[in-house]
């Protein structure tokens, strides 16, 4: 990568050096220099391996209860002990992690997609359409997601896909505001104005210019959104809306272990709790690193 510094012909009058190196490679390098972000990346990689490849190495029975060996403390054949119905806790951590990761990832991506479509439409259309659409977003933000989730849980018990859908539907608001702001600024860029002036269509402006230029904002937003979704999954189980036994996720394990905590069964709460914290922390660190690397502003 070469920094192209051409003092004689750079625009402007400020003569602190500028760089115009290839954006992606520069971003990658900035990202890799951010130690927290790299650590986050390693943590995510570890947990993906742990949950998806782990059971191949450490295989356990997660469907049948084993009531003769409940709440065992960590030992040779159960590295992290067993829970209240005799499931191996380490195996359960892998098993529940799959659900947490898949639901979090899918819900985070879904939320960003919905938010992007909504925000981009509002921002590009402008005027009263924008005003109405953004009031809807304000209204959505005004109702805390946890409360909506509790109401939903009082009405119905969704399956895995239903859960992804519900989580996506309650968390698209913040990304929609982000993308709207981005679209607003992009649609008045000189190259979009030039295209419009020579008779280019709106479709072309959106597809060829506005969306490609929003990619970095989108990537950053998605990362944070995944972090929030994984956290939300943990709350959902705590609220009793999560996947039903014998299936589980980290949040479910944690809330199941809450009562056991006072009995001193630390192995039932610390592992899932730490797993949630580590993964959510990791996605946040990655998002933070990506934002700095791409020079994207604002986190909602």
Please list every residue from 169 through 198 that binds other proteins, using CB under 8 A.
189-191, 193-198
Residues contacting 169, CB < 8 A, separation 6+: 114
Q: Which of 83, 150, 249, 295 contacts other proteins by CB under 8 A?
A: 150
In 3D, which of 270, 243, 242, 241 has the Cα closest to residue 254?
A: 270
Within 101-140, the residues that bind other proteins by CB under 8 A are: 135-136, 138-139
Which tokens sit at 200?
A: 């280019």
Q: Any idea what DSSP says for residue 82?
A: B
Q: Is 203 in the site for other proteins (CB under 8 A)?
A: no
Within 261-280, the residues that bind other proteins by CB under 8 A are: 261-262, 269, 273, 276-280
- A 10 A CB-CB count for 276 gives 22
Q: Is 142 in the site for other proteins (CB under 8 A)?
A: yes
Q: Is 26 in the site for other proteins (CB under 8 A)?
A: yes
Q: Residue 67 or 198: which CB sits closer to other proteins? A: 198
Least distance from other proteins to the Cβ atom of residue 94, Å: 20
Q: Residue 52 or 238: which CB sits closer to other proteins? A: 238
Q: Residue 49 or 154: which CB sits closer to other proteins? A: 154
Q: Which of 53, 75, 144, 295 contacts other proteins by CB under 8 A?
A: 144
Within 74-103, the residues that bind other proteins by CB under 8 A are: none
Peptide bond into 94 cis (omega under 30): no
Distance CA 34, CA 32 (A): 5
Q: Is 28 in the site for other proteins (CB under 8 A)?
A: no
Within 214-243, the residues that bind other proteins by CB under 8 A are: 215, 227, 231, 234-235, 238-239
Distance CA 238, CA 234 (A): 6
Q: Which of 32, 35, 207, 245 contacts other proteins by CB under 8 A?
A: 35
Least distance from other proteins to the Cβ atom of residue 29, Å: 7
Are 210 and 120 in contact by the 8 Å Cβ rule? The answer is yes
Distance CA 286, CA 34 (A): 9
Q: Which of 14, 63, 77, 128 contacts other proteins by CB under 8 A?
A: 14
- Report the C-alpha dihedral over residues 32, 42, 229, 298, rounded to 10 degrees: -20
Interhelix angle 23-33/270-294, nearest 10 degrees? 140
């Amino acid at each position: 990568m070469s920094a192209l510094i051409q003092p004689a012909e750079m625009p402007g009058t400020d003569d602190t050096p500028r760089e115009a190196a290839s954006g992606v490679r520069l971003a990658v390098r900035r990202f890799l220099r951010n130690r927290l972000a790299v650590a986050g990346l390693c943590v995510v990689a570890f947990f993906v391996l742990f949950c998806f490849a782990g059971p191949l190495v450490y295989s356990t029975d997660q469907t049948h209860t084993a009531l003769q060996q409940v709440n065992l403390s960590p030992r040779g054949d159960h590295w992290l002990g067993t829970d209240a119905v005799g499931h191996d806790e380490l195996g359960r951590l892998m098993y529940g992690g799959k659900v947490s990761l898949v639901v979090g990832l899918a819900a985070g991506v879904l939320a960003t997609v919905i938010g992007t479509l909504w925000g981009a439409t509002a921002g590009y259309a402008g005027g009263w359409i924008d005003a109405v659409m953004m009031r809807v977003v304000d209204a959505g933000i005004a109702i805390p997601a946890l409360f909506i989730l509790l109401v939903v849980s009082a009405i119905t018990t969704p399956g895995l896909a239903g859960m992804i859908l519900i989580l996506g539907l309650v968390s698209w608001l913040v990304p929609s505001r982000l993308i709207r702001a981005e679209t607003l600024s992009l649609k008045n860029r000189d190259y979009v104005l030039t295209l419009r002036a020579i008779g280019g269509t709106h479709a072309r402006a959106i597809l060829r210019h506005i969306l490609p230029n929003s990619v970095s904002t989108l990537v950053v937003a998605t990362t944070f959104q995944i972090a929030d979704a994984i956290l939300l999954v943990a709350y959902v189980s705590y609220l009793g809306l999560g996947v039903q036994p014998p299936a589980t996720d980290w949040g479910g394990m944690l809330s199941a272990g809450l009562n056991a905590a006072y009995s001193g069964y630390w192995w039932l709460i610390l592992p899932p709790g730490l797993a949630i914290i580590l993964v959510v922390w990791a996605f946040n660190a990655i998002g933070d690193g990506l934002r700095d690397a791409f020079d994207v502003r604002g986190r909602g």
